[in-house]
Structure formats: C-alpha cells, structure tokens
C-alpha cells in the first residue's frame, strides 16, 4: 500500500470489490480520495481494523485571516508595487510587503517564494507577485504545495482564475500591463469568490495530482 492514498487508490479498491481500505500509519489521504470513498461507501481502516482518523490535507493551506494579502515584486515590478499595495489597502485589505524595496537587480524566485510561502502557511488569504511579465513568478509559486498561482493579464482572466480555479496567488507583469489595468485586475481577483459546484471537483483533482509528488507518495505517480 503506498503512503499516499489518492482518488486512484480508492477507485482501484472499489473496482476490486473492497468495502474497506487499509491505510498505513502516517499515510497521506487526499481530499478527493476521502470524498470519493465517502460517496462510494468505502471505509478507511488502520492495520488494527479501527476506523482510520482523517489526516490533515497535505496540500490545502490552513484557514488564513480574512482580507490579508502578501505582496512581492522583483526590480521589474517595483515601480508599480506601491500603487498596488495602496490600492489593496483602499479596498480594506491588510497587506504584508515582502519586498523588494528598490530597483536594484534581484531574483524573482526569492520573492515569489516568499509570497507563496505565506499563503501555504495560512498567514495570508491571498498573494500578489509582480515581475516584468508574471510568467516566472507564477512558475515559482506553483511549486509550493497548496498554491494555485495564476498570471492574469486582464479582468476576465482574474474572474475565471478565482471563480473556476480557486486561485490564491495572482501574478502580474509590469512590462506588459499598465498600472491602471493592474489595479482593475487586482480588484477583481480580490472580490470574486470561488463558485464551487462543478468546479470544486476539478480543483480537488488539482490537489490530488499535487499530492502524488509529495514525500512519501513514491510509486503513485
């Protein structure tokens, strides 16, 4: 039995006609695996035969204080960062600024990680990272478990990222977007709620895929 119990593990057990699935001590059980097992009547048990406790979701950040935002940038995004921090504050958000604090050349992965880390730890509700184009920062942030970062060059992209994908980090490009466009995109991102419904299962599948690559999940890829 792998140390990760994913939706695939549950479906394989059901296909084999099982009504219970033994879960090793310390195994990671994804949210989608739990939901699928509950819906299909499959019970998780430990080696002793007792019902297995529900482990913490390894890729879903803990609940964060509402209306809290981490903001970061590299030297390419510095010129518009202060304007976006002020805009978020005017909308009632408490901002944690992780830098950079000048136009001196820096490496965007350092600041994208700092933003994503705060989201992962549940210290903030959302993150914002600005670099020259926004692509590199999204790549970095998406390496952090529990983070769903989206580069949104327009308002509709921001709406879709939040409403359908439950994004929790927004990346922007200072060299491809004007500051006023960035303000509108940020406002949309912060205002739109996740719609849930049919989108919830798809987001759960994102988390399920991510969990397969966590330590202890060897053999489940």
Which pLDDT does position 60 carry in this prediction?
Answer: 65
pLDDT surpasses 60 at 191: yes
Which pLDDT does position 123 carry in this prediction?
Answer: 95
- Please report, rounded to a whole number, the percentage of residues in the chain having pLDDT higher than 90: 66
Q: Among 15-24, 31-40, 85-94, 192-201, name the one with the lowest average pLDDT.
A: 31-40
34-93 tens-digit pLDDT = 888 888 999 988 765 555 544 445 566 777 889 999 999 999 999 999 999 999 999 999
DSSP string, 107-125: -HHHHHHHHHHHHHTTS-S
* Alpha carbon distance 156, 221 (integer Å): 34
Residue 199 annotated among the catalytic residues of the structure: no
Which residue in 75, 120, 164, 199 is the catalytic one? Answer: 164
What are the CA-CA distances from residue 42 to residues 24, 50, 104, 169, 203 (Å)? 16, 14, 57, 35, 22
Secondary structure string (H, E, C) spanning 5-54: ECHHHHHHHHHCCCCEEECCCCCEECHHHHHHHHHHCCEEECCCCCECCC
Q: Strand 169-173 relative to strand 126-131: parallel, antiparallel, unpaired?
A: parallel
Give CATH for domain 68-191.
3.40.1400.10
| DSSP code, position 74 | -
Q: Where do the structural domains in the chain lie, given as residue ranges?
A: 4-56, 68-191
Judge whether 171 and 150 are in contact, CB under 8 Å: yes
* Alpha carbon distance 175, 151 (integer Å): 13
pLDDT surpasses 60 at 1: no
Which residues, in sequence order, are bridge partners of residue 155?
Answer: none
Judge whether 126 and 189 are in contact, CB under 8 Å: yes
Mean pLDDT of 109-131: 96
| Tokens, residue 22 | 């033994």
């Amino acid at each position: 039995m792998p140390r990760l119990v994913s939706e695939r593990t549950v479906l394989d057990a059901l296909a084999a006609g099982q009504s219970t699935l033994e879960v090793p001590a310390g195994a990671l059980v994804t949210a989608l695996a739990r939901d699928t097992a509950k819906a299909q009547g499959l019970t998780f048990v430990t080696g002793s035969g007792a019902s297995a406790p529900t482990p913490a979701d390894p890729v879903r950040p803990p609940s964060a204080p509402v209306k809290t935002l981490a903001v970061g940038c590299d030297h390419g995004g510095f010129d518009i960062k202060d304007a976006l921090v002020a805009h978020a504050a005017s909308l009632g958000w408490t901002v944690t600024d992780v830098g950079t604090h000048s136009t001196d050349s820096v490496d965007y992965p350092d600041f994208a990680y700092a933003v994503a880390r705060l989201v992962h730890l549940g210290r903030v509700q959302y993150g914002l990272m600005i670099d020259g184009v926004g692509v590199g920062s999204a790549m970095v942030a998406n390496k952090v478990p529990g983070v769903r970062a989206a580069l949104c060059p327009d308002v509709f992209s921001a709406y879709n990222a939040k409403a359908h994908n439950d994004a929790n980090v927004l990346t922007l490009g200072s060299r491809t977007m004007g500051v006023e466009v960035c303000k509108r995109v940020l406002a949309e991102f912060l205002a739109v709620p996740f719609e849930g419904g049919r989108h919830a299962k798809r987001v759960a599948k994102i988390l399920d895929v991510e969990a397969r690559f966590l330590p202890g999940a060897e053999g489940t890829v």
